[in-house]
Structure 1
Amino acid sequence: MSAWMPPADAGLTEAAGAALARVLDGRPLVSAERFCSSMRTLYAGPRPISWTRPALAIGCYPAWEQAAPIAVVAAEDRSGRRGPAERHAWMRDVDTQVAGLLAGLPKPPVIAAWYVTGRLRRWAGPGGTLAAIDGRLRAVIEDKAAFDALLKAANVPASMRIPCVRVEGRLPALAELQRQVGARRLVVQAGADSGGRGTVFVDGDADLQRAATMPGPYKVAAFIAGWSSNTTVVSVPDAAGNIAVYVDRPSHKAIGIAEAGIGPGKSAGNDWSRPWPEAAVAELVDAAVRIGRHLWAEHHLAGLFGLDALLTADGRVLFNEINCRNQGTTEVSAVNQQLRGLPPFLAAHLTVLLGGRPDWLPDADGFNQATIRAATRGGPGPYYLKLRHRGTGPVRLAGLRGPGVYRPDNGRLVWVRAGAHPACANADLGEVLLANLPAEHVVCLPGAELGTAEALTTGPNTPFTAAHRLSVFGSTVLDALAAHLIPAPTHSEVTPA
C-alpha cells in the first residue's frame, strides 16, 4: 500500500466491523452490482473490514483473486462476451441461477445494491433484507426536472443554482427556451436515469428534437462551462432523531472525452488529487449539509448520496444533479476516507440501512472542516479513468496477466505487482491499477467496458488535463491498453451504447 496511507487504526476498524456484524446477525452479505468486485476498497485494502467481503457477489463482470468475494455469479462467465448489451442485461441473464442459489442459503440474505427493484425483492425472498435505497423514493429525489425545486426547498443559495425552467408538456421552440433561460446553449434533462442518460446538450433544432424524444417533464437549463464534479455524502441519524451529514472531498470529473470512447454528457472518470478554491469548497460543503438535512426532514433519507456540480473558472459552484444511492464513484472515492484514517462511508451506509449506528464516525462538523482543508490543499488523492473498447470490431485482450498494477512502457503495459486497491498504484511513479479487466478468452464488442485505471497521486500523472481532455499520461495508458487488443472473429452484430 502507498506510503501516503496513515497507520492502521485497529480500533476504528474493529468498531466498524463489530457494528456491521451486529446488524448482519449471522446473515450472509450478498452484493448485486455490475462489478463483482464491488466493495473491494472495504475488504481488500488497508484496514480491511472482513464482514464486508460478500458471501456471494452477483454481477456482470467477475472479480479477480485479490478482490474476490467468497463466491461469484458473473454473467460474463456464462456468455464469454463483454459489450453494451451485456452490461444492461446481466441481471436477467443470471436470474434463474441466482434465485436458486439464494433460496438455498441457510439463512435469508442481506443483499447490498444501489436501489431496490422488484427483481431484488424476489431474489431476497421471504425474510431477506435489501440494503439499498428504496427505488420509488430514489425516482422521486433523482427526478432531474425536480432538482431545482429540491435545491430551493433545502435553502441552497440562488447563486449555486443553474438558471433553468421546468417544462411539463411539449418543449417550446428553441428560441423561446433560450429566451426563458437566458443562454444560447442549453441542457435538457428528464427522468431519473444515471450514467449521463437523460441529458441532451442542445445547440440547434436537431438536438432539441432528440431531447423531445425523452418523456417529460423536463428541466431546461443554461449550459455552464467548467469542471464537472462529484461529491459523496453520507447522512447518519442519531437516537434523538437528528441527522449528521458527512461530506467527502469533491472531485474534478472529466466529461465527454471522445478520445477515450466517452460520449457527450458521460463521465470519463474522476480525480480527487486536484485542489479546489477554498471559498468554493466551503460553499459546496455547506450546501451539501443543507441538502442532507432537507432529505432527512422531507423523506427520512439516510445513507449515501452524491451531488454533481460545476466548478467555473472564476470559482463559482453550481449544482446540476443528485444521486441518492451508491454511484460509480463510490468505490474509489472511499480512498479519501481511508487517507484520513477512517473506514469508508460505504461501511456507515450499510450499517445505517440495516438499522445500526456507525459509532466510529467523528463529529460531523469537525469532519467537514477537515474536508475543506484537504480539498484546498489537493493531493495525495485517488483517481480513476474509465477504459473502453474504442474500436469498431470485436477484440480480445491478450498479453496481460489480468487485473493488477501495470506501468506503460514503449507503447505496451508492463506488469508490476498484484493488487486490488487504488493505493496499490503510485501514479507519480507511472503506475496504474487496471481493475476489472476481461479474461483473455472474453470477446469484447465495440463500446465494451474494459475496466478502470486507478491510482493515488500528488498531482503528476493525473489522467485529465482539462474538463474535457485527457492528459498525456491518460492517453498513454489508453493507447498502451489498446496495443493489447487483438481482433476476435464473431458472427454477432452489435450497436454500441
Structure 2
Amino acid sequence: MSPVDTGLAEAAGTALARALDGRPLVSAERFCSSMRTLYAGPGPLLAARPALAIGCYPGWEPAAPGRVLAAEDRTGLRGPAERHGWMQNVDADAVRLLAGLPKPPVIAAWYATGRLRRWAGPGGTVAAIDGQLRSVIEDKAAFDALLEAAGVPGRMRIPCVRVDGTLPALAELRRLVGSERLVVQAGADSGGRGTVFVDGDKDLRRAAAMSGPYKVAAFVTGWSSNTTVLSVPDTSGGVAVYVDRPSHKAIGIVEAGIGPGKSAGNDWSRPWPEAAVAELVDAAVPIGRYLWAEHRVAGLFGLDALLTAEGRVMFNEINCRNQGTTEVSAVNQQLRGLPPFLVAHLTVLLGGRPDWLPDPGGFNQATIREAARGGPGPYYLKLRHRGAEPVRVSGLRGPGVYRAEGGRLVRVRPGAHPACANADLGEVLLANLPAEDVVCLPGAELGTAEALTTGPGTPFAAPRGLSPFGGAVLDALAVHLTPVPTISEVTPS
C-alpha cells in the first residue's frame, strides 16, 4: 500500500488539533475501536486517537484509544439486545468519566441525541449531525423528493410512490410502480431495518406493520453499492464535494447469518463501468450542494445505489452521517496518498478548515478512473453467530491477522488496519472479536473480516453470494465457536 503523503498527514493532524483546541476527543459508537483507520494505519493521525472511547465492544491493541468504557466488559455478553442497549448500560459511568475530563469533551458520534448532549455536559460538543435533522434527511419516504429537488435525472431514480396513509392492495401497488416484486420502506433507521421485500400479501402485511409514511418502489436487480461523499464549505458560501469510489455491497446472505435487506459487507476492489461511475459522481455532487443549501449540512454522507447488469445506476437511500462503511472505506483515500475523509469531517463539524484537501474536480475525475480500473481495494465481511445456542470464541488470540488453514484459523500477526492483511495471500484481519470469556448469543456480531485485495481475495461472488474464500473464512471461524454447556454460564456473576 502506498504511504500517505507525510506533509498532508501533518496538515490534517494540525487542522484537527486546531479545531479541537485542547479539548479531549471522545468517541461514542458501538465499537470502541472506532476511527482506528485514522491512527493505527499509514500516516497515523495522533490527534484523531480518542482520549476516551465509550461503546459496546472494547478495542484492542493497537486499536485501543487512551481509555475505554465498554458495556461488554461488565455484562460478559454479546448479542442483539446488548448492541442495542449499550448506551443505557454505561450511562451513569459515561457521565461521571466525561465530567472528570480536564476540559469539556468533543464527542464524535453518528448523530447527536439528547443523551449525547447530556454526556457532553456544559461547554461540551457533539461532533455529529443533529438527530432530528438526520431523521428528516434520511426519511425513506421522502428520498425520491430529495433526489428530484437536487436535480438528479429521472433515469437514476427507482420508480416509486409515496403512501402517507394505509398501504393499498398489492395489485394496486404493483400497477403504480410497474413491478411484480416491491420494496416497501419506512422511517429513517439503519442496517436494513425499515425495509421489507414484498412478494405476496403476507409480506405486505409485515410492511404495513411499520409506521408510515411509506416508500413503495419497484424491485431492481443488480449489485447494491455504497459511496462515501464529503462536502466541505468553501469561502464563497457553497461547498466543495468529494466523491469516493463506490463499492459492491452484498445483501441478505443467509449462510453468513445476514437477513433480507441487510448488508453482509462491502468490497471496493471490483471495477465499475466507467460510464456508470461517472454518472454516479455527477449526481452525488449536486446532492451534496443541495444538502448544504437546504439544510446547511456538511461533512460525510453516504449514498446507496443499485448497479444493474445493463450498467445503470439507480439511487435507493441516503445516510447523512457516519456509517458502517466509514471505517474501511477510509482505506480508499489512503490508497491515494490522502488522510481519510473522516478527519476532514470532524474538522468541518468543529468549524475548522481542512485546507489540505485537493481540488474536488480533479479528485472526482480520479475517482472515476480508479473505480473503472478496479483493485487494489479494501473490503469487510460481517461476522455473525449463525447458530441457535450461546457460544464462546475459543482457540484464537483476539483480533489480529489470520489465515484459514486446515479448516481452522491460524494467527499470522497483530493488526488493526485493513491494509495489514493481504487477502490475495489468504489473509484477513479479524477485527473486534470478543474475548474468550464473553458469551455470544444467537445473532451476535462477532466482528468483521477485513483486508486489501486486487480482486481474487474478495469475500463475495455475487450480489447475494459468498466467494469460496469468504465461505472458507466463515467456516473456519465457526470451528472456533464453542457451545456454552449450561445456562448458568450465560448469566454474568
Q: Normalising TM by the smaller chain, what interval?
A: over 0.9
**What amino acid does structure 1 have at the position aligned with 2:343?**
A
Per the normalisation by structure 1, the TM-score is 0.98
What pairs with 1:378-389 in structure 2 (closer than 5 Å)?
378-389=374-385
Aligned equivalent of 1:391: 387
Task: Choose the corresponding residue for 1:205, options 201, 204, 220.
Answer: 201
What pairs with 1:294-313 in structure 2 (closer than 5 Å)?
294-313=290-309
CA gap of 1:43–1:490, structure 2 versus 1, over 3 A, is farther
Deviation of the 1:150 alpha carbon: 0.3
What pairs with 1:160-171 in structure 2 (closer than 5 Å)?
160-171=156-167
Per the normalisation by structure 2, the TM-score is 0.99
Deviation of the 1:492 alpha carbon: 8.1
Deviation by residue 1:273-297 (Cα, 9 ceiling, x = unmatched): 0000000000000000010011111
Aligned equivalent of 1:22: 18
Contact 2:4/2:336, CA 8 A, preserved across alignment:
no
Contact 2:192/2:263, CA 8 A, preserved across alignment:
yes
Task: Choose the corresponding residue for 1:407, options 403, 410, 427.
Answer: 403
Aligned equivalent of 1:39: 35
Structure 1 gap ranges (5+): none
Does 1:159 find its partner at 2:163? no
Deviation of the 1:238 alpha carbon: 1.3
Aligned equivalent of 2:188: 192
**In 2: Cα distance, 1:492 partner to 1:288 partner:** 52
**In 2: Cα distance, 1:156 partner to 1:54 partner:** 38
Contact 2:268/2:377, CA 8 A, preserved across alignment:
yes
Q: How many matched pairs?
A: 490
Does 1:290 find its partner at 2:279? no
Aligned equivalent of 1:440: 436
Contact 2:4/2:334, CA 8 A, preserved across alignment:
no
**What amino acid does structure 2 have at the position aligned with 1:59?**
G
Aligned equivalent of 2:350: 354
Deviation of the 1:489 alpha carbon: 3.5
Task: Choose the corresponding residue for 1:315, options 275, 287, 311.
Answer: 311
Contact 2:3/2:334, CA 8 A, preserved across alignment:
no
Aligned equivalent of 1:226: 222
Deviation of the 1:239 alpha carbon: 2.2
Aligned equivalent of 1:180: 176
Deviation of the 1:8 alpha carbon: 3.6
**In 1: Cα distance, 2:489 partner to 2:82 partner:** 13
Does 1:13 find its partner at 2:9? yes
Structure 2 gap ranges (5+): none
Aligned equivalent of 1:77: 73
**In 2: Cα distance, 1:488 partner to 1:123 partner:** 36
Contact 2:418/2:450, CA 8 A, preserved across alignment:
yes
Aligned equivalent of 1:260: 256
**In 1: Cα distance, 2:56 partner to 2:176 partner:** 44
Deviation of the 1:461 alpha carbon: 1.7
* Secondary structure at 2:65 match in 1: coil
Contact 1:351/1:358, CA 8 A, preserved across alignment:
yes
**In 2: Cα distance, 1:187 partner to 1:44 partner:** 40
Contact 2:3/2:335, CA 8 A, preserved across alignment:
no
**What amino acid does structure 2 have at the position aligned with 1:304?**
L
**In 2: Cα distance, 1:110 partner to 1:78 partner:** 25
**In 1: Cα distance, 2:4 partner to 2:173 partner:** 55
Aligned equivalent of 1:57: 53
Does 1:136 find its partner at 2:125? no
Tell me the percent identity.
83
**In 1: Cα distance, 2:28 partner to 2:475 partner:** 32
Aligned equivalent of 1:235: 231
CA gap of 1:227–1:493, structure 2 versus 1, over 3 A, is farther
* Secondary structure at 1:170 match in 2: coil
What pairs with 1:456-467 in structure 2 (closer than 5 Å)?
456-467=452-463
Deviation of the 1:66 alpha carbon: 1.0
Contact 1:35/1:62, CA 8 A, preserved across alignment:
yes
**In 2: Cα distance, 1:258 partner to 1:8 partner:** 38
Aligned equivalent of 2:487: 491
Does 1:481 find its partner at 2:471? no
Contact 1:394/1:490, CA 8 A, preserved across alignment:
no
Contact 1:36/1:62, CA 8 A, preserved across alignment:
yes
**What amino acid does structure 2 have at the position aligned with 1:34?**
R
Deviation of the 1:65 alpha carbon: 1.0
Task: Choose the corresponding residue for 1:145, options 141, 146, 151.
Answer: 141
**In 1: Cα distance, 2:488 partner to 2:441 partner:** 9
Deviation of the 1:7 alpha carbon: 3.0
Aligned equivalent of 1:87: 83
**In 1: Cα distance, 2:486 partner to 2:344 partner:** 45
* Secondary structure at 2:192 match in 1: coil
* Secondary structure at 2:447 match in 1: strand
